[in-house]
Amino acid sequence: MKKILFIASALLAFNASASTTYTKEQLNSMDASGQYPEQESPVTKSSENINFEECRNNASSIYSQVADSYPAKEIVNTDSLYIVKVWTNDGVIMVSCSEPDGKKVVTQSSYK
């Protein structure tokens, strides 16, 4: 539960020093047109060993919680890899689950 709260709080304001921010409306408009903001290189915020199904459920829950308000996409959804990407006001968060590695990796990228 603490991990979900960490991710949720990160979704709202993960990088106060981000050089560019967008409103929810701007991001949704970009999403509708298929034009997304340019991103800086991703920074790994956490990496942990975790059961694949637990990781997938966790990432899917995060995706579901924000998808009605902010652009969010399931990038990969297979039996061995699950990746979600969420565009927030000040950057992008990706949660990756790998069954072969037994890992969950969370990365964040600021907007350029």
Read off the CATH number of the domain in which 55 is found: 3.30.160
92 is in which domain, residue-wise?
2-110
Hey, what amino acid is at 96? S
Question: Is the pLDDT score of 14 beyond 50?
Answer: no
Domain count, the chain: 1
* Percent of the chain at pLDDT exceeding 90: 83
Beta bridge partners of 93: 86, 108
Sorting pLDDT into bands at 50, 70 and 90, what band is 18?
A: very low
Give pLDDT, residue 19.
Answer: 72
Average pLDDT over residues 80-92: 97
Structure tokens at 5: 């709260």
Question: Is the pLDDT score of 100 beyond 80?
Answer: yes
Structure tokens at 10: 């990160």
pLDDT, one tens digit per residue, over 32-70 is: 999 999 999 999 999 999 999 999 999 999 999 999 999
Q: Name the residue among 71, 94, 67, 66 with its Cα closest to residue 81.
A: 94
Which pTM does this prediction carry? 0.82
